[in-house]
A and B are shown apart, each in its own frame.
Chain A
Amino acid sequence: MRDTMDLIADFFRELAADYPRWNFIWMYEPLQQGKVLSGIWMTIKLSIACLILSMIIGVLGAFAQGSRNVILRSIVQGYIQFFRNTPPYVQLLFFYFALGQFTPTYSPDGWLEMPIISNVGWAIISLSFFAGAFNVEIFRAGIEAVPESTREASESLGFSRGQTYRYVVLPLALRVSLPALNNNLVNLVKTTTQAFGIAVPELLYQSVTIWNDYPSALYPTMLLVFVVYIVLVGLLVMSMNRWESSMRIPGYGS
Chain B
Amino acid sequence: MTEWTEKDPIVSIQDVHKYFGDLQVLKGVSLDVMKGEVVCIIGPSGSGKSTLIRCVNALNDIQGGTIKVRGIDLTDPNLDMLALRKRVGMVFQQYNLFPHKTAIENIMMAPMLVLKENEDEVRKLARELMRKVRLEDKEDAYPGELSGGQQQRVAIARSLAMSPDVMLFDEVTAALDPETVKEVLVTIKDLAQDGMTCILVTHEMGFAREVADHIYFTDHGVIVEHGPPSTFFSKAKDPRTKEFLSQIL
| Chain A interface (Cβ < 8 Å from any Cβ of B) | 147, 149-150, 152-160, 163, 167-168, 171-172, 175, 247, 249-252
Contacts and interface: CB of A to CB of B under 8 A. Distances in A.
Contacts of B100: 171-172, 175, 247, 249, 252
A155 B99 contact: no
Contacts of B142: 249-252
Contacts of A252: 99-100, 142-144
A158 B86 contact: yes
A151 to B, nearest CB: 9
A185 to B, nearest CB: 22
Contacts of B207: none
B218 interface: no
Instruction: Choose among B89, B100, B155 the residue with the greatest number of A CB atoms under 10 Å from its CB.
Output: B100
B: interface residue count bin: 20 to 34
Chain A interface, DSSP helix/strand/loop, else mixed: helix
B144 A158 contact: no
Interface string B131-163: 000000000011111100000000100110010
Contact of B57 (A156, A168, A171, A175): A156
A160 B83 CA distance: 12
B114 A163 contact: yes
A202 B138 CA distance: 54
A231 B100 CA distance: 33
Interface stretch (B12-20, B40-48, B90-98, B117-125): B90-98
B82 interface: yes
Nearest to B113: A163
A160 B100 CA distance: 19
Nearest to B146: A251
Nearest to B114: A158
Contact of A159 (B94, B97, B113, B144): B113
A158 B85 contact: yes
Contacts of B115: 158
Given A163-B114, A251-B144, A152 B99 contact: no
8 contacts: A153-B97, A153-B98, A156-B85, A158-B81, A159-B113, A171-B100, A247-B100, A251-B144
B110 interface: yes
A168 B86 CA distance: 19
Contacts of A152: 59, 92, 96
A191 B96 CA distance: 41
Contacts of B92: 149, 152-153
Given A149-B96, A250-B142, A252-B99, A156 B113 contact: no
Contacts of B113: 159, 163, 167
A157 B144 contact: no
Given A156-B85, A158-B85, A158-B162, A168 B98 contact: yes
A135 B81 CA distance: 33
Contact of A155 (B59, B86, B141, B144): B59
Nearest to B82: A158
